[in-house]
Amino acid sequence: MNTIWKLRRLLTYFFKRKGPHGIHSPYVYKLVSVDFRRQPNSTRIQKIATFLPHLKISTIKKISQLIGDEENLQLSETKIHIQISESLEVFFSPQHFHDFQISQMELDDECRCVILGIIDDKWNFKNWKELQENSMFHCTLDCGSFGILVKRTHQQKEHFTI
């Protein structure tokens, strides 16, 4: 039953997603057209892969592309998340993000929180939907198998499927 739900969720994602030209936000347009098209750094990919061995290489490449060229990797791991750099944190599931007590988080306005496993099951997807509605994050992006939350308090609250 979970497999049918996951397949239906992926098909919905593929029909709703937009390319860079269907996005009206300059921030998200840059993310899709510049950051996700940046040549992935193989050293970074290998380092991230050692911390996240269960992920597909395509997801690891996307995570490595989110790290700016000038940033150094600062991999520090807990049981529920990995801080990759000053502006990028990766959480293992939406539930783990909730467990991190988002109300007490002191995130920079441009810090990106990558949430893995948003389509692993109905429970994770429900938690992901709740995170999208959270007033702390003004920009949420659904990237298929993972989601991105950005605080961006100066931006109007929007959700993108890319």
pTM of the model: 0.79
Give the bridge partners for 112, in sequence order.
88, 150
Contact between 150 and 110 (Cβ < 8 Å) = yes
**Strand order across the beta sheet in which 88-91 lies:** 76-77, 81-85, 88-91, 112-116, 146-150, 139-142, 158-161
Provide the pLDDT for residue 1: 53
Cα 44 to chain centroid, rounded? 17
| Per-residue pLDDT, 73 | 64
pLDDT at 79: 60
Q: What is the pLDDT of residue 103?
A: 57
Mean pLDDT by groups of 10 residues along the chain of 162 residues: 75 74 79 76 77 77 71 63 74 72 68 85 86 88 87 88 85
d(CA 143, CA 145): 6
Contact (CB, 8 A) for 140 and 154 = no
- Give pLDDT, residue 68: 64
Pairing of the two strands 146-150 and 139-142: antiparallel
